[in-house]
A and B are shown apart, each in its own frame.
Chain A
């Protein structure tokens, strides 16, 4: 079967943060191609030293995060046919992280943040029984592929660069998955409030909009955590009850 082809124009960021610019490349594209296919073709034909991070090519590993026409997206999941026809496709690196070269940024901050969190800590005497309905919501959180697009788009990180005070949506999702695990026994409330900086999120839903796994980050992870924080630290009735009966892990 003959494939339909047409010429497409790509503007790709080339160089380093200190010395870089968008350069134009033209290739023939066929039906069904995604941005990553185009980048690999351009790499093979014109730019053998292209700085690009990609691995699975299937939207499962979260390596090929970039900004396509200014929007944080996975290159492997962005079909050319879904972009405006007849206009150049602009592909640049994530803006919230330091650039390394071309489309590659230094995302190591995320891995450092991850290390600060108390891992899953099971109850001592559990028999490991959980119902599917109990784990449905954390299975949603655990779909995260760590592409860091949510971190990139979050204005707390992107505009205000609060990396020291705020862990970002990705790690609030992780904290939610731990807090809502039916068999987890650790108390991370103070961490979520103080170190993770959940208060800095003002629920604009930008993270949910860019999530390639369609995790409802704000509604199903951040807001439930915010509610727990409110119950723990700002609910006068519960505070009184706790004063009388002592502290217990909240288990909403």
Chain B
């Protein structure tokens, strides 16, 4: 008789965003009994905020598009430190993945001949983004949610996983957590686990990310012994709202620029002509973000410390039809009518290209039985992600992770049973902050973490500043065990923040260390002390593993690229 509420599955998916739901559907359809664990209610994951679209070379608007240009654009955008094998799979499989969504009920905007419409986007050389106005993520998540329900997947909503369970050989055999509503402990035994927990924007103060983006999966995998990769590459999206304070950082979709929006400084100049005269507003995100940063720094910023993004030269009807959420967002939050006035925008922490290192085919991590997909996994995007490549990443590699995990699970007899004494210890750890005397608060420590990362590991980095940041993180770590949480275990925001804070601090240190290690400027990693791209670093990835309780950093050569693939990329 188990002391804790226990469930057994073949495959356990942690995370209910696009990657998690797609993985769960694939796993269940491959014959594995599958459950989805969701930290939030179903359908509320951060995927819901994706706006611009899904990149897939359907060629409906420009028939010259195909997987080759999509592959080339993705590699160029990532400055060639992508895992080319993942970029290849992604470019080839995303069109079918989009069609699959349509078959499951997604209703995309249409071309005049009735097919899925595609729009232009930064870094894509052809109009490639399948979209539904500017609420594509919502369409995707609702479609996958309906599909998950239709294929009979069990879901555990508002459940937080705090530990992955591993057996004596180090293979994953389940997960440990609790339900937010009650604080009651729950144990999942499973043959395989898929990490699909998304990103980590909440490590920074100015972010477009949801409250749930707290580095959970990266930390869970790292603690379980898995390798993390490319953690230095954090994308700062060029256009977040800068005012009012409550929504500072909230995303302004790239689709605004895709639909013709112009970036101007306070002098009215289209300043992108200085930074990327060829692609102008539709340059890659890293370039545009740094350009805005520069304009503001040199005193040419807008009233609230951003720059202007103007779409008012388009007709009001067009703007309202193609960018309805943006129209509403600015109307409701900032009293700005974007059909008449320019928006004020500035960079915001948006996406992490790094994550759990996975096999390009199966999405298995370096730990047996542990898989990862979506933003929590690394490889596809290299040093910088193109807009629209995230949603396609979720469905292409979510599906592969689900199939990979189900296949792995077929070969496992029965997951190891973890002893009650171990589980009891995990359980005691959770409740410690209730017993401590007052001192630190979760919100206070979180606030300081965010400020450290803004100041020391932001959009422009420097060796000395990163060092200093790491020192500050060291002190912050000593404050963590002093955090007190009030009240009880029933739906307690402070307690949940306390627990996710452990993940954020762990991963923040890893990011800072990886950023310090990569002594060059390449796409999202901009180092003031190493302003140029270094071809030697262009051949390497940074891998992080836990050794003797601390992150160990090493550089590893990228997989070799065969000549016929290299040829596709042209000169670079």
Contacts and interface: CB of A to CB of B under 8 A. Distances in A.
A32 B333 contact: yes
A140 to B, nearest CB: 10
Given A48-B494, A52-B493, A130-B110, A61 B103 contact: no
Contacts of B297: none
Contacts of A132: 109-110, 117
A120 B146 contact: yes
A224 interface: no
Given A49-B488, A142-B139, A143-B138, A55 B211 contact: yes
A131 B493 contact: no
Contacts of B99: 128
Contacts of A106: 181
B107 A57 contact: no
B40 A131 contact: no
B491 A32 contact: no
A115 B157 CA distance: 15
Interface stretch (A97-105, A159-167, A241-249): A97-105
B444 A139 contact: no
A77 B332 contact: yes
Interface stretch (B21-29, B241-249, B260-268, B522-530): B241-249
A50 B495 CA distance: 10
Given A49-B493, A107-B41, A145-B48, A57 B210 contact: yes
A119 interface: yes
Contacts of A60: 48-49, 135, 137-138, 325
Interface in B189-219: 210-212
A43 B146 contact: no
Contacts of A56: 44, 46, 48-49, 210-211
Interface in A31-69: 31-34, 36-37, 43-45, 47-63
A30 interface: yes
A111 B104 contact: no
Given A30-B245, A57-B211, A58-B247, A129 B113 contact: yes
A111 B64 CA distance: 44
Nearest to B111: A132
Interface residues of B, number: 68
A154 interface: no
Given A131-B114, A181-B105, A33 B246 contact: yes
A55 B443 contact: no
Interface in B30-50: 40-46, 48-49
A93 B64 CA distance: 54
Contacts of B117: 132
Given A43-B443, A48-B442, A104-B491, A37 B48 contact: no
Nearest to B446: A44
A182 B44 CA distance: 27
A61 B49 contact: yes
A239 interface: no
A139 B48 contact: no
A172 interface: no
B103 A43 contact: no
A51 B107 contact: no
Interface string B233-256: 000000000011111001100000
A51 B334 CA distance: 28
A108 interface: yes
A246 B485 CA distance: 67
B304 interface: yes
B329 interface: yes
A81 to B, nearest CB: 9
A79 B245 CA distance: 12
Contacts of A142: 107, 132, 138-139, 142
| Contact-residue size bin, chain A (C-beta under 8 Å from the other chain) | 35 or more
Interface string B141-171: 0100011011000010100000000000000
B387 interface: no
B339 interface: no
B552 interface: no
Nearest to A116: B149
A3 interface: yes
Contacts of A101: 490-492
A48 B133 contact: no
A146 B211 contact: no
A100 B181 contact: yes
Contacts of A236: none
A105 B253 CA distance: 32
A47 B495 CA distance: 11
B562 interface: no
A50 B494 contact: yes
B175 to A, nearest CB: 21
A199 interface: no
B486 A48 contact: yes
B304 A63 contact: no
A61 B210 contact: yes
A129 B102 CA distance: 11
B352 interface: no
B149 A115 contact: yes
Interface string B429-447: 0000000000001111001
A181 B107 contact: yes
Contacts of A47: 486
Contacts of B184: none
A114 B44 contact: no
Interface in A162-180: 178
Contacts of B110: 130-132, 135
23 contacts: A16-B490, A30-B245, A33-B245, A36-B246, A47-B486, A49-B485, A49-B486, A51-B491, A53-B491, A55-B44, A55-B211, A55-B212, A56-B44, A56-B210, A58-B329, A60-B138, A100-B491, A119-B147, A120-B104, A120-B105, A122-B103, A132-B110, A181-B105
Given A31-B244, A36-B246, A143-B135, 11 more contacts: A32-B333, A44-B444, A49-B486, A57-B246, A57-B247, A77-B332, A79-B333, A100-B181, A100-B490, A104-B491, A111-B42
Q: Which 6 interchain pairs have the tightest Cβ spacing?
A: A32-B244, A49-B487, A120-B105, A48-B494, A129-B114, A44-B443
